[in-house]
């Protein structure tokens, strides 16, 4: 069987573009072949080369993409990267390619469908639990409750523990996306497309975890790309 090729977005950083090894290793372990897609790559030139798309984490999203002014707590933004990621997601959706979106990637997925974000959880979500942990990246810091009838639940179950490295989160969600997981404080931790066989966004970083749920998520994604 031919191994599926997974397109992977990248993070620009001071004259270079980069990607954490966790994304690459998780795709390889699940049986896929990663193909890194630098920002500003003409996505229509490579979309036919890939069998699925992984949208990785990174900096904040410029709030102009969801028609808001910048909140005082907004971090670093890169509108060119936002454009690139949004364009990649939209092309993948049109092609009905399997799509896994992680952390910032989940937020990009939501914005691509007209949704909005909380720009700074500590300032905009009273009584929030800790969502930007100080612990090691492979430490599971809080629980996530997964909607029982969701695609995500069919893969990982209805309650898991995850790591957490975000200060922004999904706010308004528009059809055909639906909420598929939350934390105890009500912050949205996962969304998915109701009609596509595999289109899931998660707020945590499964590529940094070695638990069974994270491995199942990557295996299900890569299998959907076969």
Q: Which residues contact 148 (CB under 8 A, 6 or more apart)?
A: 158
> What's the half-sphere exposure (Cβ side, CA atoms, 13 Å) at 217?
29
Tokens at 72, concatenated: 């005082």
- DSSP letter at 214 equals H
Task: Give the separation between CA 122 and CA 119, rounded to whole angstroms.
Answer: 9
Strand, helix or coil for residue 78: coil
Task: Give the separation between CA 112 and CA 124, rounded to whole angstroms.
Answer: 22
The CA radius of gyration of the chain, in Å to the nearest whole number, is 16
Q: How far is CA 51 from the centre of its chain?
A: 17
Looking at the annotation, which residues are catalytic?
Answer: 103, 205, 207
If residue 105 lies in a helix (H) or strand (E), which one and from where to where? helix 104-112
Cβ-based neighbour number of residue 82 at 10 Å = 21
If residue 45 lies in a helix (H) or strand (E), which one and from where to where? helix 43-46
Tokens at 151, concatenated: 């695609």
């Amino acid at each position: 069987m031919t191994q599926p090729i997974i397109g992977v977005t990248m993070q620009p950083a001071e004259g270079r573009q980069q990607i954490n090894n966790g994304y690459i290793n998780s795709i390889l372990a699940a049986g896929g072949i990663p193909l890194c897609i630098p920002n500003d790559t003409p996505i229509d030139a490579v979309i036919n080369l890939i069998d699925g798309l992984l949208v990785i984490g990174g900096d904040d999203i410029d709030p102009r993409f969801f028609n808001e002014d910048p909140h005082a707590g907004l971090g670093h933004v890169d509108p060119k990267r936002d454009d690139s990621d949004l364009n990649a997601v939209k092309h993948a959706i049109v092609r009905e390619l399997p799509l896994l979106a992680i952390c910032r990637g989940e937020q990009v997925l939501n914005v691509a469908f007209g949704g909005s974000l909380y720009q700074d959880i500590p300032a905009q979500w009273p009584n929030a639990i800790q969502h930007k942990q100080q612990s090691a990246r492979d430490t599971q810091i809080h629980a996530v409750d997964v909607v029982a009838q969701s695609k995500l639940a069919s893969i990982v179950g209805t309650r898991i523990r995850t790591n957490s490295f975000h200060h922004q989160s999904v706010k308004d969600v528009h059809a055909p996306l639906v909420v598929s997981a939350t934390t105890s404080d009500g912050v949205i931790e996962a969304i998915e497309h109701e009609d596509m066989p595999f289109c899931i966004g998660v707020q945590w970083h499964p590529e940094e975890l070695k638990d069974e749920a994270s491995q199942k998520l990557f295996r299900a994604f890569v299998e959907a790309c076969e």
